[in-house]
Amino acid sequence: MSLFPPTGRYLRRSTLLFLALIACGAVGSALGWGVLSRPYQSPGELAALVERAVNAGDAVTMESLTAPGIKNDYRWVREWRQSGNFKRWKAGPVSVYGSQRTLLHISRLQVVQSTYDHLYEIAGPSSRPRLGREIPEDELVGCRVTDHRITVTFDPARRHVTVTDRAKVTTHADRWSVALVRLNAQFSVSQVTLDDAPTPWRQFGGFIMVPKPAAQTATLTLAYEATLPKTGETFMSDKEAALTAYWYAHTGRLPATSEIEVRAPQDWLAIAPGERQSGSSSAVRWKNLLPVSFITVAAGKYSVTRREVGGVTLNAYLLRPSATRAREVLDQAQSAIEVFGHQIAPFPYSGYTVVESDVFPAALEAYSFTLCGRETLPGVVVHEVSHTWWGGLVPNTYTRSMWNEAFATYSEGLHRRLAGAGPDDPTGHGARTAGNTLPTALPLSKVTDAMNSTHAAIGYTKGAHVLGQLERMIGPERMRATLRAFVTRHRCGDAADWSDFQAAVTATNGTEWAECLDAWLNDPRIPSFGLSGVRVSRSGSGYEITGTVTVEPVGFWALIPLTAGGNEPTSTAVLCRGSATPFRFQSRAAPEVVTLDPDGVVLRTGGDVRAALTDK
Ligand SMILES: [Zn+2]
């Protein structure tokens, strides 16, 4: 996903509604407490209170509705309004087939890689039900989806889409008597079968529940439909349509393969992930053998420009024919595929398509193609192509972190450098400036929401700088070897996280590097580096400079450049392994001052760091 430049669109919308929402929050909070003072007796009444508290952003009331001894993280209740999606949440109870349990869901229309629907157990006595433990999205209930056979029919005249998803599920021997999948709450399910036989089923918000199949694998088929809005991230207009966010049955957004047939009007072209199979232009089938976490379908009245390069067919699908724009887009895609295919791992598809949209407000990776808002082209193409590696070959669910956005942003700089279009600095732009401005609310390993500006600043910008700091420490060749190892060590079908990359760092560079990213990933702060005890002394015909590089807080590793200034400046670099590090280097001329990180290439806080020298 790339939000740039349309982030401003969300931020402006956020700003406009900010005061109104604060007011709503205050009123809602008061209402929540007011209602609480009366006894409530049923899961339905609990759900009504929960719905009111969530829509008011009132985490305090959520705590008060929670059973004693249960520790849930309600940060999302305070944060959801920061993600630019102001759709209301709806809560409701649902009883679990084959057990006495009742669950409580909180759902709304979701956009991709952002907030998500929540599910809680209900605890406490039946006369006074309370919120029990949250069942996190990555904790599967009864089954996992591994493959989709999907038919999508777009009817632009009615702005209507119908979908059939034949999802292959593997069942789990867990404590659940049911199998649960997620599907965006905007879709209305009309039929559910298990292995083509009728089954009881329930749709509640963004969830579908069926009794758990007895066999280890089964085909769960859902038929559903929606009338789509003209704008947003899943939309339909009279000339284009896209399905982007949780429009298929999924379990914890875990990777799945897919075969998708898209039916659209005769004069439309449709695209889905993977390789194009047989089919006419109005009913085309796409097969993706690479399991991925996010599946996108787009269709529209595109004008096509094609280019064949090194066995890969590149396409530009533009809404208005423009040879210049098509060339710009294809140049970017070609260059990115060549650089990343050569440096990291072979490109896994026979083609790549850049799809232009007048409606989609950002740019979204689909691994064999990308859906790009018109304003994002052509600048966003390299970022989106890099997601074929960071999200495609190595998938990410965004339920635990958005590590792959760090890699995609870092890859923009890598491409700039390797394509000869930018400076030879691993992060490409001022790390120190970033260090003084980045938010420190959350650690890099815990940000998940690409639409939340704080999460995004940490996940994209800080993440890219942290990878740049690693490249400074181990050098560009070993950095590329580490990236290659991250891809080749990945087990197809799994999703990855930062810990898998840390394992690749150790495997490639040695166990002495095992902790080099720990603080950068898990400590939300950005360190400051200093100098202490700096001395100069005569050494042969020149001078020897000694001292210590300090780090606060301890734990952060970095390669620290030092320059001894004078008539003939001399430089060195000190690898700081998370604690005070002594250094010693030579200078031919008499130095007057030692400067730490004079070019601002270290991700750090603080200003200039200098030590005036005195003869020992
Ligand atoms: Zn991205």
What is the secondary structure of 267-281 as a DSSP string? T-EEE-SSEEEEEET
Contact 376, 340 (CB under 8 A): no
What spacing in Å lies between the alpha carbon of 592 and ligand 1's midpoint? Answer: 46
Mean pLDDT, residues 587-616:
90
| H helix runs in 387-475, sequence order | 403-418, 431-437, 453-456, 463-474
The yes-or-no verdict on residue 80 having pLDDT over 80 is yes
Note the pLDDT of residue 127.
Answer: 85
The helix (H) or strand (E) run that includes residue 63 is helix 59-64
- The two three-digit tokens of residue 85, written as one number: 């999606």
The yes-or-no verdict on residue 28 having pLDDT over 60 is no
Alpha carbon of 468 to those of 252, 397, 445, 475: distances in Å? Answer: 30, 23, 16, 10
What spacing in Å lies between the alpha carbon of 387 and ligand 1's midpoint? Answer: 7
The backbone region for 425, taken as left when phi is positive above 0, alpha when psi lies in -120 to 50, beta otherwise, is beta
Mean pLDDT, residues 225-247:
97
Mean pLDDT, residues 52-65:
98
What spacing in Å lies between the alpha carbon of 84 and ligand 1's midpoint? Answer: 17
> pLDDT tens-digit profile of 326-344?
999 999 999 999 999 999 9
Note the pLDDT of residue 195.
Answer: 98
When pLDDT is cut at 50, 70 and 90, the band that residue 614 belongs to is: low
What spacing in Å lies between the alpha carbon of 411 and ligand 1's midpoint? Answer: 10
Note the pLDDT of residue 18.
Answer: 35
Other C-beta atoms closer than 10 Å to the C-beta of 63 total 15
Note the pLDDT of residue 338.
Answer: 97
What spacing in Å lies between the alpha carbon of 441 and ligand 1's midpoint? Answer: 21
When pLDDT is cut at 50, 70 and 90, the band that residue 70 belongs to is: very high
The yes-or-no verdict on residue 17 having pLDDT over 70 is no
Note the pLDDT of residue 424.
Answer: 58
Note the pLDDT of residue 38.
Answer: 59
The yes-or-no verdict on residue 109 having pLDDT over 80 is yes
Cβ burial of 544 (10 Å; 0-12, 13-18, 19+) is middle
> pLDDT tens-digit profile of 483-524?
999 999 999 999 999 999 999 999 999 999 999 999 999 999
What spacing in Å lies between the alpha carbon of 245 and ligand 1's midpoint? Answer: 15
Range with lowest mean pLDDT among 89-93, 175-179, 397-401, 564-568: 564-568
The yes-or-no verdict on residue 378 having pLDDT over 50 is yes
Query: Residue 532's beta-bridge partner residues?
Result: 548
Q: In whole angstroms, give the CA distance from residue 608 to residue 534.
A: 16
Note the pLDDT of residue 359.
Answer: 97
When pLDDT is cut at 50, 70 and 90, the band that residue 14 belongs to is: very low
Q: How many angstroms separate the most distant Cα atoms in the chain?
A: 91
Contact 91, 104 (CB under 8 A): yes
What spacing in Å lies between the alpha carbon of 490 and ligand 1's midpoint? Answer: 20
Round the average pLDDT of the chain to a whole number and report it. 92
The yes-or-no verdict on residue 251 having pLDDT over 50 is yes
The yes-or-no verdict on residue 156 having pLDDT over 90 is yes
When pLDDT is cut at 50, 70 and 90, the band that residue 423 belongs to is: low
> pLDDT tens-digit profile of 293-304?
999 999 999 999
Note the pLDDT of residue 281.
Answer: 65
Q: Who wins on pLDDT, 119 or 30?
A: 119
Question: Which amino acid would we find at residue 297?
Answer: V
- The two three-digit tokens of residue 95, written as one number: 């009883």
Note the pLDDT of residue 567.
Answer: 77
Note the pLDDT of residue 209.
Answer: 98
Q: In whole angstroms, give the CA distance from residue 221 to residue 201.
A: 11
The yes-or-no verdict on residue 151 having pLDDT over 50 is yes
What spacing in Å lies between the alpha carbon of 369 and ligand 1's midpoint? Answer: 13
Range with lowest mean pLDDT among 23-32, 511-520, 572-581: 23-32
Range with lowest mean pLDDT among 40-44, 167-171, 280-284: 280-284
What spacing in Å lies between the alpha carbon of 562 and ligand 1's midpoint? Answer: 34
What spacing in Å lies between the alpha carbon of 138 and ligand 1's midpoint? Answer: 21
Within 13 A of 387's CA, how many CA atoms are on the CB side? 27
For the question of an ipTM over 0.95, the answer is yes
Note the pLDDT of residue 27.
Answer: 36
Angle, helices 403-418 vs 463-474, to 10°: value is 60
Task: Return residues with CB closer than 5 A to ligand 1 (ion).
Answer: 1-2, 405, 408
Nearest to 614 by CA among 546, 521, 549, 567: 546
Query: Residue 103's beta-bridge partner residues?
Result: 94, 121
**Which long-range contacts (C-beta less than 8 Å, at least 24 apart) are formed by 58-63?**
58/25, 58/28, 58/29, 58/32, 60/29, 61/29, 61/32, 61/33, 61/36, 62/131
Q: In whole angstroms, give the CA distance from residue 602 to residue 391.
A: 27
Mean pLDDT, residues 560-567:
90
Return the percentage of the chain with pLDDT > 90, whole number.
86
Mean pLDDT, residues 135-152:
97
The yes-or-no verdict on residue 76 having pLDDT over 70 is yes
